[in-house]
């Protein structure tokens, strides 16, 4: 009896594998297109781009226009080539564009304010950033027309009590300086609308006198050392935005519902283990971020469709101990990282709130963000 020999048609086998390869390539193409259209992929791309710009010292205003980040690689190359030229010509250009009522100053060669400034009491706005200035002089009380004090990323360690004389002051930004306290006289600025004290790292409390600021709608005290929500903040009856993230909060006060106008509440990167049920009484709260905390309990009603919340993040709870900050980190590196985290989170939240592609029937969106 002879052996049986099985003969295969090679063309049939090849056709079978070619079909499988085509299907796999089609799946890969479809998956690539899905990722390109994915909001998370776009966020990741923008995150990496912003991080690269920050590493190269490129100012945010250059690559962020009207709230949108241009991630074009050619743009990055162009910005990198021309950064020094732009920085050298910026003071001259600003001088041409600036209003006669606006004072602008930037650059690490500035260690104190120019003497001529005290004669310009008609000024309504100060925009001073990225300098080595440590002290705001007491003659600031002469600037009775002052509306905006924008003083981020300097070396300011002290605000004078005379700041309370600025009765028309609307905005105060002293973020990412070296403040350890806020003068109680600031409570006399009864028309103040926005207060930003974020990123000072050592700020632990706000004076009770700030309870008089009944017109404030925006408070940012993130990246400091607050162990509780300041009492004065709970008495700001018109407050709509409160950012107290990156602090040492272990709990929230039971009377947090005093903030009846609160719409956005940022609490990420604290030590919260629970959220009080009184938060259900915040009838206007539409955005809540508590990611990266120690949450083990929260009112389940927060996730019901009956609440006004549209965006809520409760991701990364409880927080892995390995992610806790090392106390031996260099202060300036920590300051830069906190500034980047805060700016990106705000930009991301604004993008979520304004994105037109969100279906009208969506009431809540959970998102995770590795900070």
The mean pLDDT value of the chain amounts to: 78
pLDDT at 240 over 60: yes
pLDDT at 353 over 90: no
CA atoms of 149 and 137, how far apart (whole Å): 13
The model's confidence at residue 350, banded by pLDDT at 50, 70 and 90, is low
Count the alpha carbons within 13 Å of 152 in the hemisphere toward its beta carbon: 15
CA atoms of 38 and 51, how far apart (whole Å): 20
158: DSSP letter: B
Count Cβ atoms below 10 Å from residue 37 Cβ, excluding itself. 10
Average pLDDT on 237-253 reads 95
pLDDT at 371 over 80: no
Q: Which fold has domain 101-317?
A: 3.80.10
> 370 versus 284: which is more confidently predicted?
284
Residue 89's pLDDT is 41
Residue 264's pLDDT is 94
Residue 251's pLDDT is 92
> 272 versus 75: which is more confidently predicted?
272
Instruction: Write out the DSSP string of 104-155.
Output: EEE-TT--S--GGGGG-TT--EEEEES----B--GGGGG-TT--EEE--SS-
pLDDT at 346 over 70: no
pLDDT at 8 over 90: no
How does pLDDT run across 38-55, given as a tens digit for each residue? 666 666 777 777 776 666
Instruction: For residue 268, give both structure tokens.
Output: 């990420």
Count Cβ atoms below 10 Å from residue 67 Cβ, excluding itself. 9
Residue 222's pLDDT is 95
Average pLDDT on 88-116 reads 73
pLDDT at 257 over 80: yes
The model's confidence at residue 85, banded by pLDDT at 50, 70 and 90, is very low
3-class SS of residue 274 = strand
Residue 189's pLDDT is 97
Q: Tokens 């940012």 label which residue?
A: 220
H helix or E strand, kind and range, residue 22: helix 10-37
Residue 262 to residues 77, 217, 275, Cα–Cα distance (Å): 42, 8, 16
Residue 262's pLDDT is 96
Residue 72's pLDDT is 61
H helix or E strand, kind and range, residue 84: helix 73-97
How does pLDDT run across 270-317, given as a tens digit for each residue? 999 888 989 889 999 999 988 887 887 777 777 666 677 877 777 776
CA atoms of 269 and 198, how far apart (whole Å): 14
Average pLDDT on 218-230 reads 96
365: DSSP letter: B
Least confident segment among 218-222, 249-253, 331-335: 331-335
Domain layout of the chain by residue ranges: 30-77, 101-317
CA angle 350, 353, 356 (to 5 degrees): 115
Residue 106, preceding bond cis, omega within 30 degrees?
no
The model's confidence at residue 220, banded by pLDDT at 50, 70 and 90, is very high
Residue 95 to residues 82, 86, 103, 128, Cα–Cα distance (Å): 20, 14, 9, 14
How does pLDDT run across 176-201, given as a tens digit for each residue? 999 999 999 999 999 999 999 999 98
CA atoms of 263 and 90, how far apart (whole Å): 37
Alpha helices in 296-364, H assignment, sequence order: 331-354
Q: With pLDDT > 90 as the criterion, what percentage of the chain qualifies?
A: 46
Residue 10's pLDDT is 66
Beta carbons within 8 Å of 157's beta carbon, 6+ residues apart = 134, 135, 177, 178, 179, 180
CA atoms of 290 and 267, how far apart (whole Å): 5
pLDDT at 76 over 70: no
Residues in the chain: 371
pLDDT at 223 over 80: yes
Count Cβ atoms below 10 Å from residue 77 Cβ, excluding itself. 10
The model's confidence at residue 61, banded by pLDDT at 50, 70 and 90, is low
Residue 264 to residues 173, 241, 268, 288, Cα–Cα distance (Å): 19, 5, 12, 6
């Amino acid at each position: 009896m002879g052996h049986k020999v099985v003969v295969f048609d090679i063309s049939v086998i090849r056709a079978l594998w070619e079909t499988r390869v085509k299907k796999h390539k089609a799946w890969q193409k479809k998956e690539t297109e899905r990722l390109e259209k994915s909001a998370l992929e776009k966020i990741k791309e923008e995150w990496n781009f912003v991080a690269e710009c920050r590493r190269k010292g490129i100012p945010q205003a250059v690559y962020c226009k009207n709230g949108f980040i241009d991630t074009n690689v050619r743009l990055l190359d162009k910005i990198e080539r021309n950064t020094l030229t732009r920085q050298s010509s910026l003071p001259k250009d600003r001088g041409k564009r600036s209003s006669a009522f606006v004072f602008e100053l930037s650059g690490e060669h500035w260690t104190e304010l120019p003497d001529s400034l005290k004669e310009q009491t008609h000024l309504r706005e100060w925009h001073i950033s990225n300098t080595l200035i440590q002290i705001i002089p007491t003659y600031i009380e002469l600037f009775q027309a002052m509306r905006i004090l924008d003083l981020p990323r300097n070396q300011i360690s002290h605000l004078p009590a005379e700041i309370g004389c600025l009765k028309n002051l609307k905005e105060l930004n002293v973020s990412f300086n070296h403040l350890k306290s806020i003068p109680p006289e600031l409570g006399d600025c009864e028309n103040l609308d926005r207060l930003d004290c974020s990123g000072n790292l050592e700020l632990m409390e706000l004076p009770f006198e700030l309870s008089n600021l009944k017109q404030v709608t925006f408070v940012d005290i993130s990246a400091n050392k607050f162990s509780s929500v300041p009492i004065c903040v709970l008495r700001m009856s018109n407050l709509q935005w409160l950012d107290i993230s990156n602090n040492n909060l272990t709990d929230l006060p039971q009377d947090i519902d005093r903030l009846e106008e609160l719409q956005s509440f940022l609490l990420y990167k604290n030590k919260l283990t629970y959220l009080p049920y009184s938060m259900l009484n915040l009838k206007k709260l539409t955005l809540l971020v508590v990611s990266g905390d120690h949450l083990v309990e929260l009112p389940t009603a927060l996730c019901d469709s009956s609440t006004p919340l549209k965006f809520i993040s409760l991701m990364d709870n409880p927080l892995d101990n390995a992610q806790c900050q090392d106390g031996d980190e260099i202060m300036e590196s920590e300051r830069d990282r906190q500034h980047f985290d805060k700016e990106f989170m705000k930009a991301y939240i604004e993008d979520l709130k304004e994105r037109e592609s969100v279906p009208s029937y969506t009431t809540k969106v959970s998102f995770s963000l590795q900070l």
